[in-house]
Structure 1
């Protein structure tokens, strides 16, 4: 059963498998996460972290107030629709209950916090594409998977994307 909308109560699933997604990401990441969700009899919580916003404060009832880093940026319903379409395509023919949630801030911290709030069973992320731009970004921000592995107790599944590097290939060539 595919549940493309959050549960009617508006509550997050308890003990889900969380998968971090970005627009245009290879569908293998979501499919692998769905396989683990089915294996555990859990819901799949597909999560996009909006890095253009930050948490300004959280109410005692848990409602999170956010603000954009750039005040000219308008939240995009088109992005939500795009992510929902990509997930629906990736999960075509897969029997798993899922919902899409957007959180804000630093990806590793946001995924960690969501995993704590839902008592997640597993966090699934994909690797980045290799290249000098991604290598520079990772040098300054670090790998989301590595940062998650050091900051929370849950298992992390890192799904490789694209062709793996050869054993003798330099992963971070100098420019």
Structure 2
């Protein structure tokens, strides 16, 4: 199962793991993919930042995501790995799912507020693009609220 994660919602992978476990799965591997939208990869797999303020080579930018993911997945009880992608999240998640032979892709809901609305207006949501452009099921987990 491929799970799209970001720096604001590292717990999404843990929630996906809980769902798998509640359905009786224990041997499913979660492949957690963080896609850096500020970077692009060339044909050799070398990743460079398109934002001059972010130095990809220092990896401090991605280290925060991995640290949050490690905290969220510390005692999850399922095998998992983390990958870093670059570019368009929908394209990258579909590519990783194809390479891994994933049965499903799990993503979160779009960002709330003006930025989420503008992103949806311009390019659509990651979930929407995945649903329409590749053959495997896409599960969209809503954000948790403090009342949950």
- Fold match, TM over 0.5? yes
Structure showing the higher helix proportion among its residues: 2
In the TM superposition, residue 80 of structure 1 has moved relative to its aligned partner by: 3.2
Residue aligning to 2:34: 48
- Hey, which bits of structure 1, 4+ residues long, moved more than 6 A? none
Structure 1 unaligned regions, length at least 5: 1-16, 59-63, 164-175
For normalisation by structure 1, the TM-score amounts to: 0.72
Asked if structure 1 preserves the Cα contact closer than 8 Å seen for 2:26 and 2:78, the reply is no
Change (3 A) 1:45 1:37: farther
Give the structure-2-normalised TM-score: 0.83
Mapping 1:26-45, distance limit 5 Å? 27=11, 29-38=12-21, 39=25, 41-45=27-31
Post-superposition Cα deviations, 1:137-170, rounded to whole Å, max 9, x if no partner, equal 211021000100111111111010145xxxxxxx
Cα RMSD of the aligned pairs, angstroms, is: 2.0
Q: What CA distance in whole angstroms lies between the structure 1 residues aligned with 2:5 and 2:49?
A: 20
Unpaired stretches in structure 2, ≥5 consecutive residues = none
Contact 1:57–1:66 (CA under 8 A) maintained in structure 2:
no
